[in-house]
Structure 1
Amino acid sequence: MQKVIQRAILLLFVISGFCLNTFAQPPSRVVRGVVTDEAGATLPGASVSVKDFRAATTTNSKGQYSITVPEGGQILVFSFIGMNPQEARVGNRTTVNIKLADANTNLNEVVVVGYGSIRKSDVTSSIASVGEKDIKNLPVAGLDQALQGKVSGVTITSNGGQPGGGVSVRIRGITSVNGVEPLYVVDGIPILTSTSSIAQDQLGGKAGQSSQSILSTLNPNDIESVDILKDASAQAIYGSLGGNGVILITTKKGKAGQGKISYDTYYGLQNVPQKLDVMNLRQYAEYYNSLIPEIQAASPGSTLNPIGEFADPSLLGAGTDWQDALFKEGRIKNHQLSFSGGNDKTTHYFSLNYFNQGGTILGSGFERLSSRIAIDHQVKSWLKAGVSANISRSDQKITLTDGTETPTTIVLYNSPATPIRDASGQFITTSSLGNNTFGNANGNPIATAMLRDVGAVQSKGFGNVYGEVGFMRFLKYRSEINYDFQLSQNHAFQPKISNSTTGQTILSPSKLREERNNSYYWALRNYLTFNNSYGKHSVNAVLGHEAQASHYDNQFVSATDLKQNIMSINAGTILPSGTNGNKGNWSMESYFGRASYTFDGRYSISGSLRRDGASSFGPNKRIGYFSAGSAAWTVTNEAFAKDWKFVSYLKIRAGVGSVGNQNSPVQNAYSTNIRLFSISPFGGGGVPANVGNPNLSWESITTQNAGIDASFLNKNLEVTVDIYKKTTTDMILSTTLPVFAGLDPNPPANAYKDIEPPVTNAGEMTNKGVDIGITSYNIQSKGFSWKTNLIFSKYKNKLVSLNSQSAILRGAEQDFTSASVVNITQAGGAVGTFYGYVTDGLFRSEAELNNGTDWGIAVGPTGIWLGDVRYKDISGPDGVPDGSIGSEDVTVIGDPNPDFTYGLTNTFQFKGFDFSFFLQGVQGGKIYNWTRKYSESLYDPFVNQLSSVLNRYSASNADSDMPRFVNRWHSNNTRNSDRYIEDGSYLRIQNISLGYNLPSKWLQPVKLSSARVYFSAQNVYTFTKYSGYDPEIGSFNKSVLTPNVDNGHYPTPRTFTIGANVQF
């Protein structure tokens, strides 16, 4: 790997030398002009290039251009989005003005596909494209967040508002239970290195929703376009890496012509859109006073002492607002500087970016510095070479959320009677009123957020070096080396803090965990490309070989009782159970081919085949073959359709293909791994950790797709519709074996005798759905335009079978509580469905309590009583209701998968102004509101609750739907049930943007070619019935088994930004 990097750097300097040499060559002549539409309106940003040469430029804000035409250049090519391209012969002219005709759909546009590109008119698969203008200037850390709601069939969900945090991306539903994130390919480089933060943290709470986005290390401003391969007929060329879909990212490169310097910047403020309605001090005092007789009546002999300060609640103020203290205003800023240019032999692009996002919760934030360079050089008429390098370093500060003892949840039930600090300014955890102590023994959440230091530093670099030989105009050979490395340094530190006046322990004990994760990837790729048209025939083909390998190593160490709170492992006592490490290697060799043929612009066929040999499986199962085929008929190119008036364009597509997945719940599951252990006083040793399965093989994903691409009304209305069925077979699953076999599918972390069962291929899963995309050019007139984009996606996920009829995959059991299961996955239902009791209102009479049903708890004020939750008896040991409430009555109580998702964008342009608004929505999809389970628990008079508990059941409020107060935690009312299931539907005003392009007369005196200023608002308002902070929950640690559980979710912030795009 080191040698590859050294050679890449060497080649970079060599090619840079060519750049300096070629920049000195004088131009042949300069041609100027203006580009307008048919109505005479100027077209800023239109592309102008010299045919058969690399010289190119774009028009300024007044549609003006100036281009250097090399010697021998005769024809200028003009193009603009939504217009037909046009050519003009220069001759002896020095001024060429051109008018472009409106086309709305440019079928000669090039679409990026696996290992190459093809004309859009020849596409036979389901491929969606997103341009730079759709993602530029959005105040987000990663491209994945910018794509949300922009592409049909792609569901993107933020896993929290943590700056730089994880994002779940699903292309056409859930493909596998072993990870469903798509393959990202940047300029042909698969991004396979990990970007995970600390997964399980010793400080309490979980950082699963704080895992970094895999794209957070890539600067979105460097991206030119994004192409998403949605069906297997397009994905099969990537074989076993493309099972979850493929996102192809093309970054910016230099263009021949006058050099450009661009500066883009924005600055913004962020805040939490809403806080939850917990009781203030006056309400809390009323609540406390009302509990005194209720507790005494429910438990004779039990008392709750009156508090003098609460005697007249109307005299009290608001008390401590813990949420207001935890949430803060975050600031976000971005600076991007880029240089690009070149001539007919060499082009270059260089950028430098700084991004900083302050969190809206104390102790959180994200900072990134990144740079990119790309140089392409025409060494000979038949030889082209180039190099690119992307380097970034990010620093993520994490406030642990997702737990009942983390700041985001503690602020909800810390009493408003407890101040944050004492009179001397020191943190406190409890305070006393009368004979009662208020506060939280778990700590002060503000102190926790401010004093803990949890972070992840990621250093990443990737790029390639290539050489391309043109044997003929239509036949090219390319050889390239890709590299990708990531060095991660994660830490979690908690000091030991006490109040020197009261002696209260604020944080204890002192702890430190340090983790190092390093991963390296390289690939050598060689392939031939054939692309030729002759007469009515057009052929595009690729044939190649690829070898790739990766290595990773991980070490972590934990210590406690750190002397003087020094943040060093050497300052404390090392914890053997918190010290470990592992490393491994992976490699794969592949042969691939793809060919497409189009006849007369009417009939197109395409096919691909890939052979993968991966080290993930045993010697007899390492080889996998993945193939696909598709066809398309462009109906409107038929003679009988020439006179159609309403239908301007119609293409019908169909395809089928298979891809694979090699992710496994056990590393190297085909062989037997060794688990090391230590038992005092006998020492340590090693035992088998699992039962290997040498016959383990690939998961197989087959997609059937049919679709149409159409335009109507003189191409003013474009419609794309796809229907699909995606089937996953031979899923990689742990085998369920009898207990007497001595195998535990979930052994404890310190186990030395339990052996994980073998992993096998079994089970089947399906996803059926429809994707719809509509673009309407509502108004296209001189000086004014209005365009609307609408996307709609719907899919139905079903797990047909697992490895046995009774098999169940559990999610969230260990992530949220050791006593309850929140999500389960079982045959016949969707992945990650919610699991619990079905409620049947409240008990409102003793007759209901004594109807002969065994409620599992004794009837009476101290057990099941009036105002308690009643559960349905739906089953028993024999599968029929048995007159008792028990574990057999637990069932599926909700599906987290949405009924459908949608997005609507409207874009207006009036002279120099542009205005757009973007709506994004989700219909259906349930949420398990675990946060509400705790903040409406009604079990402890000394903790705060949501204000809704003021309407709880009591003798004087017997019509309430809120259960009564029960003076203990593990009561009947706090069972996992559909009481906490809520509708996750929402419609969000995701973005509003207003911009202005400054007129050229303002720019010329300061030597600017273009300048735009704008205002933008993100996450403006959300229409929803969900009672939590935010209905966009995502998946814990991106796992498909734990979706939509809100357990201290970091709210998505509202953002207001002002920015500018300037070009010299």
Structure 2
Amino acid sequence: MKVSIKILRSTLLNPPQEKGLAGGRWKAWRERLIGLTVVLIFCLSSTYAQVNISGTVKDAQGEALPGVSVRVKGTPTGASTDADGRYSIAVPGSESVLVFSFIGFTNVETKVGSRTVVNVTMEISTESLEEVVVVGYGTMRKSDVTSSISSISAKDIKDLPQAGVDQMLQGKVSGVTVTNNGGQPGGGVSVKVRGNTSINSNEPLYVVDGVIQEARNSSISYDQLGGVGGQTSQSAIAGLNPNDIENVEILKDASAQAIYGSRAANGVVIITTKRGKAGQSKVSYDAYYGLSTIPKKLDLMDLREFAAFSNSVRQEIAAVENTSMLPIPEFQKPEILGKGTDWQDAIFRTAGMQNHQLSFSGGSEKTNYYLSLNYFDQEGVVIGSNYDRYSTRFNIDNHVKDWLKVGLSSSFSRNNQRVALTNGTEGTVQLAVYNSPAAPVTTLNGEYATTVSVGGYNFGNALNPVARAELRKVTKLQNQLTGNLYGEIVFNKNFKLRNELNVNYSGIENKAFQPNVVLSSGYNLIGPSTLREQRSNSLYYALVNYLNYSQTFNKHSVTSQLGHEAQRTSSNNIVGMRRNLILNFESLAAGEQNGQTLDGSYNDWAMESYFARAGYTYDDRFSLNLSARRDGSSSFGPDNRIGYFTAASAGWTITNEKFAKNWKTVNYLKMRVGAGSVGNQSAGSNNYTTNIRLFASGPFGAGGIPDNVGNTKLGWESVVTYNAGIDAGLLNRRLEVKVDVYDKVTTDMLMRSELPIFTGIGTSWDDIKSPYVNAGNMRNRGIDIGINSYNITKPDFNWTTNIVFSHYKNTLRRLNNDQAALMRYTEYGNAVTLTRTVIGGPLGRFYGFVTDGLFGSVAEIQNSADQGLAIGPKGTWLGDVKFKDLNNDDIIDDKDVTFIGDPNPDFTYGITNSFKYKGFDLGIFLQGSYGGDILNYTRRTTERLFSPYFNQLATVTNRYSADNPDGNMPRFNQWHNSNWRVSDRFIEDGSYMRIQNVTLGYNLPAKFINKVKMTNARIYVTAQNLYTFTNYSGVSPELGAYNSDVLMQNVDNGSYPNPRTFNFGINVTF
């Protein structure tokens, strides 16, 4: 045996010294066997070293906790507890440390040692109990909050490739309805906190690091260069870089808002930006690149379809007695034609987008800092539109002494926007969709085309949409500087005094320029060269001082606050215009003096306020909060300047009662009730008095005329809100539910009084303005629901779901008199009514005729109400729209119009699913609206069927004719416009569900990024506005308010489409 072993060892370790192949083989085998032996030894030792640990995890009451994550610290090994709280896991050895983590509980770390059974008791996280919420002029323990406040953090909006913070709130917060007013880069959005509060602006008050920024979306309601078109221009917080945001709090009910008094009627959005933290300094770089396209094109006729349409229409016209229309030889064989000009392709494009953010943060025990630099650039999907922003932010906090802390929050932004004028019959989109595919964009010599002659007939629009979009420049440049300088003095553990100086400066430069372009034919393409410049500057500053007191004794906790605030805004504005610019120089100095205009204004507003707040909590079970504010505003006359706004709310945390300690399903339950009043002063300053408009020249020389009719009795608009809510945590806090119901009543609503026409006041935009009065009363009721579900929480896999639901219903309850109504019309003063708001109904309902199909026979026409036209092909005839005689007087006239649609949605919602698997993360965000009608005014243009020279939707091919008596579209009718009256024909359901955002990300492994000194690296791809499920036939069912008018919601008149965007991004931290 010894000999055998010796031979084996000799053979293995000392093979025969043979040369050549045999010797090489022995050498290779030896190396392999040695390696295999080492691996086997290692595996065996590892197997014997592994220890199986098992145990049970319970809460402080002894209840089992299922779904607790159990992992071995420093390794990828993990497990989770079952329904009975039991777990089992293999650990390398006795030195291993187990980490137990669960939502809402404090993490537990324990060393295994010699144990094989490790049982753990987990305590509810004191961090979650002590978590604070930002409220007006301070913070509050989340457990003490008794008002309706919603919060979102930076991680909730981190992958949304949008320019504005307000856009990112869409579908993320219950009770907050966000609607894009179009896809204009940098454009404003409509943000409503719990629906419509007023017929005036419903935008909330924004507070960024203590600095108030009122939401006054600047809007171009007229194309300042002539023509009809408008588009919301820019958001009030367009200069705020979303990458700088730490969290956002939305104060939704009056008990939370009342501390802001007369400026909080529409809700308050408090934005807190990032600050440095003590510890190692960090450098972060975030960037993304993307491409945007329009998600949908209208189905318009191409040239072949258009030629066939033109041929058949001409035959129908020629068949009418005493009417002739010759055929067009070039159109006689449509099948041999090309597709012609696609005007949608001509005005829409694939647009680029990029964002770059570089930030530095860090600090020590005494000082922390945060510095960021950002560049954002977005091309518009409509030619002639783009937006870019440069911004920087610097935040610093310093503990000068144990009793003194000072700090600064500052930002600067430069926003440059070029607007494509849409919304209107002469807007870029509308001009394109009904332009003929027979007309080219440019002629053979490279000039812009107008109309084109085919067979002796002119086709196309003299207003070339591409020429207008590319040659006209309507721009807005805004420089904004904000700052919050504060000092905090801590007298002792109970008293703290804070002093703030807030500044917000804005300089805006609006320009509208068009050159003089004369074609070789002598035709002036877009009119005389024109330049309009408007420059405005505003400076807001505020001094805020408030003293905080807090005291805890036994089971009692008391907080209070007393404060004073003085605010002032000074602004000036100058606007000038000249035409016939020399050599098309973009300078006012180059224009002629004849016909020039020059105007200017100055405005000064101030308000002084005192405010107080008190809170009391007993045994973490009962909470009571009170607040009050006194405002004195220069917006009103001496007798009405002072306003008082108070609020109270209470809460009962039921699960902290003894009888609820053993509840298994319900882990947290809190009831809240509150009531309060807030105000609105949206009438602007000095409308209580008659202002004078000065002029330099007139029939009798220089002078002045009244600019408005004053009202010395003008006072506050008041909003009173009642709120009741429930916060619940269920199934070991895996399910969190928050429900609020509210009733909000607006009284003394501010509005202009409509005076009789014979007064000559308020009949056109440049007349003496009619007086503001307190005349309206409106009620808004609704429900908000927010749900967070932690579906799966495993060491390697997590799945969470967030659902928000919002429903509200508004009713106008009073106007000047019971017969009064608020009307909105087509095309800036045209007499055709689009919406009508009356007492007892919601805001902005559509108003028009009700249809009853198409006339199919002469007998049907004769037996129906008089349509107001003679019976015959040139009057009312077969295939014309049949309108209902609602008042039964046998004639169709303006007395037969009624409400035909309601733009207000039944409810809105958002659903976010987040998945994490090891280094991967996937987010799917759905957002939508149910109910809410749309007036498709674009269809009214493109299904008009009145001219064979302009393009129409392909749906008109199924029109009524002698050859197609079953057609569902009216006949072609060039003799009168009865068929395209505003009616329910053009009302469509605006319900939709949109895949708003899908993001797939990957965090690079630590072992890789540590080699290049990174602490974090993530790459991701994002699809925004991926797909919309809707029955609406237009480009997008999300329309917002037409030119920011709350009484003109959901009117599609060639709006700027919301783009579909695909992005690639990277986040790295050093």
If the length of structure 2 is used for normalisation, what is the TM-score? 0.88
Select the residue among 476, 482, 490 that pairs with 2:496: 476
Separation of aligned partners in 2, 1:512 and 1:535: 72
Q: How many residues align?
A: 973
What residue is the counterpart of 1:535 in the other structure? 554
Aligned pairs (5 A) from 1:106-505: 106-192=128-214, 194=216, 196-204=218-226, 208-298=230-320, 300-441=321-462, 443-500=463-520, 502-505=521-524
Are 2:188 and 2:217, in contact at CA under 8 Å, matched by a contact in 1? no
| Structure 2 letter corresponding to 1:913 | F
Post-superposition offset of 1:103:
6.6
Aligned pairs (5 A) from 1:30-45: 38-40=69-71
Residue-by-residue CA offset, 1:121-160 (whole Å, 9 max, x unaligned) = 1110000000110011311011011110000110000000
Select the residue among 545, 552, 558 that pairs with 2:571: 552
Are 1:577 and 1:750, in contact at CA under 8 Å, matched by a contact in 2? no
Separation of aligned partners in 2, 1:677 and 1:808: 35
Are 2:203 and 2:215, in contact at CA under 8 Å, matched by a contact in 1? no
What residue is the counterpart of 2:1000 in the other structure? 994
Change (3 A) 1:615 1:1023: same
Separation of aligned partners in 2, 1:629 and 1:698: 21
Post-superposition offset of 1:578:
4.5
Q: Which stretch has the larger CA shift, 672-681 or 163-172?
A: 672-681
Post-superposition offset of 1:101:
7.5
Q: Which stretch has the larger CA shift, 104-113 or 1016-1025?
A: 104-113
What residue is the counterpart of 1:585 in the other structure? 604
Residue-by-residue CA offset, 1:206-248 (whole Å, 9 max, x unaligned) = 6653320112110000000000000000000000010000000
Separation of aligned partners in 2, 1:866 and 1:1058: 57
| 2:919 counterpart of 1:898 | no
| Structure 2 letter corresponding to 1:925 | G
Separation of aligned partners in 1, 2:854 and 2:215: 52
Change (3 A) 1:821 1:79: farther
Select the residue among 785, 806, 817 that pairs with 2:798: 785
Post-superposition offset of 1:820:
1.4
Aligned pairs (5 A) from 1:767-916: 767-815=780-828, 818-851=830-863, 853-875=865-887, 881-916=888-923
Residue-by-residue CA offset, 1:547-576 (whole Å, 9 max, x unaligned) = 000011111111222222111122223575
Post-superposition offset of 1:872:
1.5
Separation of aligned partners in 1, 2:357 and 2:482: 19
Select the residue among 645, 650, 654 that pairs with 2:664: 645
Residue-by-residue CA offset, 1:864-923 (whole Å, 9 max, x unaligned) = 211111211223xxxxx3221112222221111000001101001111111110000100
Change (3 A) 1:81 1:126: farther
Are 2:71 and 2:100, in contact at CA under 8 Å, matched by a contact in 1? no
Separation of aligned partners in 1, 2:131 and 2:716: 36
Other structure's SS at 1:178 match: coil
Residue-by-residue CA offset, 1:946-998 (whole Å, 9 max, x unaligned) = 11111111112122221111115x51012111111111100000000111111
Are 1:197 and 1:456, in contact at CA under 8 Å, matched by a contact in 2? no
Post-superposition offset of 1:507:
1.9
| 2:620 counterpart of 1:614 | no
What residue is the counterpart of 2:534 in the other structure? 515
Residue-by-residue CA offset, 1:90-138 (whole Å, 9 max, x unaligned) = xxxxxxxx99978799332211111111111111000000011001131
Separation of aligned partners in 2, 1:307 and 1:923: 48
Separation of aligned partners in 1, 2:1003 and 2:997: 19
Are 2:239 and 2:389, in contact at CA under 8 Å, matched by a contact in 1? yes
Are 2:213 and 2:237, in contact at CA under 8 Å, matched by a contact in 1? no
Structure 2: state its 5+ residue gaps: 1-66, 76-98, 111-119
Are 1:81 and 1:104, in contact at CA under 8 Å, matched by a contact in 2? no
Change (3 A) 1:152 1:828: same
Select the residue among 954, 957, 973 that pairs with 1:950: 957
Separation of aligned partners in 1, 2:73 and 2:954: 59
What residue is the counterpart of 1:725 in the other structure? 743
Post-superposition offset of 1:632:
0.5
| Structure 2 letter corresponding to 1:988 | R
Are 1:736 and 1:804, in contact at CA under 8 Å, matched by a contact in 2? no
What residue is the counterpart of 2:55 in the other structure? none
Separation of aligned partners in 2, 1:322 and 1:290: 23
Change (3 A) 1:264 1:621: same
| 2:1039 counterpart of 1:1027 | no
Residue-by-residue CA offset, 1:764-800 (whole Å, 9 max, x unaligned) = 1011100011111100111111001111111111101
Other structure's SS at 1:847 match: helix
What residue is the counterpart of 2:5 in the other structure? none
Residue-by-residue CA offset, 1:483-534 (whole Å, 9 max, x unaligned) = 001100011111121332x444322222211111211100000001123322
Other structure's SS at 2:1035 match: coil
Are 1:736 and 1:807, in contact at CA under 8 Å, matched by a contact in 2? no
Separation of aligned partners in 1, 2:861 and 2:548: 77
Post-superposition offset of 1:1024:
0.6
| Structure 2 letter corresponding to 1:155 | T
Q: Which stretch has the larger CA shift, 502-511 or 330-339?
A: 502-511
Other structure's SS at 2:1008 match: helix
What residue is the counterpart of 2:1062 in the other structure? 1056
Change (3 A) 1:1035 1:193: closer
Are 1:197 and 1:490, in contact at CA under 8 Å, matched by a contact in 2? no
Select the residue among 912, 919, 926 that pairs with 1:919: 926
Residue-by-residue CA offset, 1:340-376 (whole Å, 9 max, x unaligned) = 1110111111000000011111110100000000111
Are 1:104 and 1:716, in contact at CA under 8 Å, matched by a contact in 2? no
Are 1:118 and 1:540, in contact at CA under 8 Å, matched by a contact in 2? no
| Structure 2 letter corresponding to 1:888 | K
Post-superposition offset of 1:826:
1.7
Post-superposition offset of 1:86:
6.0
Separation of aligned partners in 1, 2:1045 and 2:227: 17
| Structure 2 letter corresponding to 1:295 | I
| Structure 2 letter corresponding to 1:713 | L
Report which of the two structures shows the higher radius of gyration computed on alpha carbons. 2
Are 2:944 and 2:980, in contact at CA under 8 Å, matched by a contact in 1? yes
Separation of aligned partners in 2, 1:437 and 1:862: 23
Q: Which stretch has the larger CA shift, 151-160 or 467-476?
A: 467-476
Are 2:485 and 2:501, in contact at CA under 8 Å, matched by a contact in 1? yes
Other structure's SS at 1:363 match: coil
Select the residue among 616, 627, 644 that pairs with 1:597: 616
Other structure's SS at 2:231 match: helix
| Structure 1 letter corresponding to 2:817 | S
Root-mean-square deviation (CA), in Å?
2.3
Are 1:557 and 1:574, in contact at CA under 8 Å, matched by a contact in 2? no
Change (3 A) 1:993 1:802: same
Q: Which stretch has the larger CA shift, 944-953 or 820-829?
A: 820-829
Are 1:931 and 1:1047, in contact at CA under 8 Å, matched by a contact in 2? yes
